[in-house]
Structure 1
């Protein structure tokens, strides 16, 4: 739940950052006006949490059904995701639709943006984290890089929750060791070589900043920022706001990883108060 809350507040905060990264309001850390509504990142993450709470694991059919049932076009879904979820709502199977998108499945960041709570859920059992994260991604993001992005985020959250003594380089290397071979893995390996004291814009220029809305272009930066701010939720999200282009998703991933380690108390009370509550259908109250 802490990881989910970190994701939700990060998503809602990032969704309100509509100014350039070097705008004085961002550099000066001027909080956006409330309320902060959350986006599709949260809506889908809540479905992941719901399925875990009901089944204890990822039931892919149930997850696809939950995505379709709770799909709200006003939450900022991409056009490809909208078409996919409408097909699910109309009775088509994710097993047929997801692998066929873009020819080999989607390599976008949607599987990664929603999965941090899953990593915290399964914790130290990293084999299960990898398996369950892969299953959660396949429902909408069947491309190997889309799956790899989800695995990376889930493993990062699991390690943050269960191995708090890891330093940033150790955490990034441990994540890379569990991610399937490919470009996501390669960039996380590169991330492990980038110092936390250097200019973050150079890090984003090397790893990607979310402009392409792909797992490759999003996950390595989010995991690098989280690894170097594991006790500093607020600093981490302002850092994202300065360098990322898909701000809400990078903030959601980063926030979910950090809160998995530090707990929900790391989220500023003012930020939680500004954020839209969790959806009633999740059944967890406030």
Structure 2
């Protein structure tokens, strides 16, 4: 049975895709040039193509529309089918390995668990795609955490990757639940997300993020928390959620603030924008940005 996609889920997905495409455009200019352009709010020229972050988020939303819940084995096969159809979306090295093996018929649990000497991947791929899931199940935070774990385990076996996905999904759910109310302070928002997580480096990173003083610069936050240079959940999620939590009512400013942390910019921007848009929607996005962005398929 095909379900209607709730409006906050579509908002989160659209925000995620915008952040992904916006952030991806900043990888190539020299840092000095790019820093000046970000400071001056000069957007990069289009077209802004989205990457694997959005491709996998689309698969996840379509999966929820079809099943109403996450079925990890089926989701893994659907990720693999999308990858096989369009493999040029900048998937990470381990995902090439996982998705090719799953597409060839191997068991996703065995494949993901065998990575990195049997530890599994703690990459940020499970976190980058999951914000719309948090918006989908926002009525029940325990369900959000459970479903986010299932979605992560389709491709990532490591507890940090699972915690990263749970953190982003819970942040998106809290953003949806706060629609129509005043945004909570950054520290309070981050503490609440952390309180719902298992004991992991991701949780510790969020607690550190919550303790950063008001007025902390983006660059300082990125140095303290990490902004995805290691492409791990624990090196990506705390910064992305710190950025989102400081701009819950301003999607555009959230993107400028997030990209100024450099690092894995398509993913940090996708995470932050997926969370913020779950609360704010995307109506305030400049028309020129929407025109530059690669369109999403009609859901």
TM-score normalised per structure 2: 0.91
Match of 1:65 in 2: 77
1:111–1:141 CA contact under 8 A, matched in 2: yes
1:52-71 Cα distance to aligned partner (Å, 9 max, x none): 11111111122111101110
Q: How does 1:45-56 map to 2 (within 5 A)?
A: 45-56=57-68
1:234-261 Cα distance to aligned partner (Å, 9 max, x none): 1111112211210000000000000000
2:219–2:261 CA contact under 8 A, matched in 1: yes
4+ residue runs over 3 A deviation? none
Q: CA deviation at 1:263?
A: 1.3
Segments of 5+ residues of structure 2 without an aligned counterpart are 1-9
Q: How does 1:1-286 map to 2 (within 5 A)?
A: 1-18=10-27, 19=29, 20=31, 23-71=35-83, 72-102=86-116, 103-163=118-178, 164-165=181-182, 166-279=184-297, 283-284=298-299
TM-score normalised per structure 1: 0.95
- Matched residues in 2 for 1:160 and 1:6: separation? 13
Q: Which moved more, 1:118-127 or 1:163-172?
A: 163-172
- Matched residues in 2 for 1:266 and 1:171: separation? 23
Q: Give the paired residue count.
A: 281
SS at match of 2:23: helix
Query: What is the aligned-residue RMSD (CA, Å)?
Result: 1.3
- Matched residues in 2 for 1:55 and 1:116: separation? 18
1:73-109 Cα distance to aligned partner (Å, 9 max, x none): 2110111111110001111111211111112111000
Match of 2:4 in 1: none
1:183-222 Cα distance to aligned partner (Å, 9 max, x none): 1000101111113422221111111111000000000000
Q: CA deviation at 1:229?
A: 0.4
